[in-house]
Structure 1
Amino acid sequence: MKQDYPDAPYLCNLAKRCGYVIVANFNLGMKKEWKADNTPLTITDTAINSDVCAAIQRDYPHIRVVGEEESSASKIENPEYIILCDPVDGTIPFSHGLPVSTFCIAVLKDGTPLVGVIYDPFMKRMWHAERTKGSFLGSAKVRVSNTTALRHAMIYAALLHSNVLTSSLYNPLSVIHELMKNEAITIDMHSIAYFGGLVASGEFDATIYPITHGWETAAMHIIVEEASGKATDIYGNNIRYNPQGEVQGHIISNGKVHDKLVELVQKCLSIESTGL
């Protein structure tokens, strides 16, 4: 009997189909438009988002899709399940000749992620997890790192561009400055979900993200938690997804550096609020 929501095999197959489109459309000189938040939009973003909405509407019509570029036309009020999807996480590198992008998708019930998939179609890396079943890269189970100190820790810390800065929950430069003072290694490749997979695999130790949309956060959340990591909002609280998939940013980590990162972000927020 088919369950009420898509499982990991279903979402992995969907990810592979969408990944084929990403790779097929990847080329230099890509046409793009610029959205109001000063991020690029390509035909690949919109085509994949539409395909996801159509597939879920056909196979799971009681589930509403909330995508970065398009949401399903479902008339269901207060649906039990929603799907959060970023069709091309990393449109900036994708549209400028850098093959650092993923397709990511997650199923949530009552605001809790049940299934998540992050797929890099260039390297054919498929991270996936289901609640209580563990986290996997392909068929191999993955686990977060054992890093306990911020010194030499590998941290994805979002360095945002101008228009998105206005919606950031903190000043990214202040957080990156504090991380540098602690001798952490920071990086931002404008593909946040990719680094969620790398945290789950133990290659990176954490991601810190100050934006309220949760298209990528939900898949990262379950994949890292099922790899024995930890996920909270930037204040250290449980991540709560509203019906539009919005969150209070996130800190997603191996768990062992988590409290240090929450304390660091709170220090930066306190300085910003007092001006000291």
Structure 2
Amino acid sequence: MSEQRDVPAIGGKSFTAVAINSAAKAGEWIKTKLGKHTTLNLKYSAQDLVTEVDKGAETMIRNLIMTHFPHHSFLGEEGVQPGPEASERALSNVQDEEYLWIVDPVDGTTNFVHGFPFFSVSIALAHKGEVIVGIVYDPMRDELFVAEKGKGAYVHGQRMSVSEEADLRESLVATGFPADPLMLQPNLQQLQAIAPQVRNIRSGGSAALHMAYVAAGRLSGFWEQGLNAWDLAAGYLLIKESGGRVSDMAGEPYHLGVRHVAATNGRIHDSFVDELKKAGAASRTEG
């Protein structure tokens, strides 16, 4: 692929090339399973779903990565117990590791289950807590979004840059509706506050893809409450390397523990966060 350039490596093995290969192989397999999953279970809530495809894709990605980097650490959504407390514990146990792979095998499982073609594979690599590689792959559109720290972000081999909108009134933004029932009401308050301020709002159902779209200039901004490192890490680097900005909803810089996120082209970020704050979004702080 054209994205496989001069990339960070250990012993000649490219981190980014391994991430791309893992995302592509998992994505191709996930696509063949669309409409054919055989199990469906609830995790934390009726909106938090898992199938054997999620678990199989994560196993595939883990095996592919560990073949090349057996001493690296791995944090995958399907290896963590449901619920925000379990997610925070799982991250705290590994976030200080030298190399940590952070994976959501199917970001948008509800869409996958319903045959709605908006889901993705998200793979990030953090070095001592800082994201250095981010991959989001959309198997239905065969779109691969790739970022490396300090080297830019790309889709279809072309350099990405965020959108030019400098005013909320000209901005197309997106949100997601949280799987955590406790987050739904605050999210609806934010939606009510933001909707009159922007050109329009979308909700596709995959945080990783929404963030990739911000990086590609297709959206001016994105916000959502109650997310986890595997939802955000790859998208964060895509946006950063495309010239945008990612923070928590209080406007503080992104780190792996952020759960309530605001991501924009940078130009609208302060006004976007101000509107979220007015809706009480910052009342739930990050650890």
Q: TM-score, normalised by structure 1?
A: 0.88
Quote the Cα distance in structure 2 between the aligned partners of 1:271 and 1:249.
Answer: 9
Alignment of 1:64 onto 2:79: no
- The residue type equivalent to 2:191 in the other structure is I
| Offset from partner CA, 1:59-97 (integer Å, 9 cap, x none) | 21221111110269xx98942111111000000011011
Shift of the alpha carbon at 1:141?
Answer: 0.7
| TM-superposition CA deviations, 1:144-201 (whole Å, max 9, x none) | 000111114111112235xx131x3970011111111214411212111111111111
Note the C-alpha offset of 1:43: 0.9
Q: How does 1:2-151 map to 2 (within 5 A)?
A: 2-3=9-10, 7-27=15-35, 31-38=39-46, 39-70=48-79, 78-151=96-169
Computed over aligned residues only, the root mean square deviation of the Cα atoms, in angstroms, reads 2.5
Q: Note closer, same or farther for the CA distance 1:92–1:6 as it changes in structure 2 (3 Å cut).
A: farther
Maintained 8 Å contact 2:96/2:129: no
Q: Is the 8 A contact 2:212 2:235 kept in 1?
A: yes
* 1:222-275 Cα shifts (integer Å, max 9, x gaps): 00110111111111111122xxxx3242111100111011111111117979xx
Counterpart-to-counterpart distance in 1, 2:253 and 2:281: 20
User: SS where residue 235 of structure 1 aligns?
Assistant: coil
Structure 2 match to 1:236: 251
Instruction: Measure, in 1, the Cα distance between the counterparts of 2:226 and 2:95.
Output: 26
**Per-residue CA shift, 1:89-112, capped at 9, x if unaligned?**
000011011111100110011221
AA aligned to 1:47 is G
Q: How many residues align?
A: 264
Match of 1:263 among 238, 258, 274: 274
Runs of 4+ in 1 over 6 A off after TM superposition: 270-273
Segments of structure 2 that go 5 or more residues without pairing to the other structure are: 1-7, 81-89
What are the ranges of 5 or more consecutive residues in structure 1 without an aligned counterpart?
A: none
Distance 1:78 1:137 in 2: 30
Alignment check: 8 A CA contact 1:29 1:96 kept: no
- 1:142/1:99 CA distance change after superposition, 3 Å: same
- The letter of the residue matching 1:223 is L
Alignment match of 2:176 (pick from 153, 158, 164): 158
C-alpha distance 262-216 of structure 1, shift in aligned 2 (>3 A): same
Higher helix residue share: 2
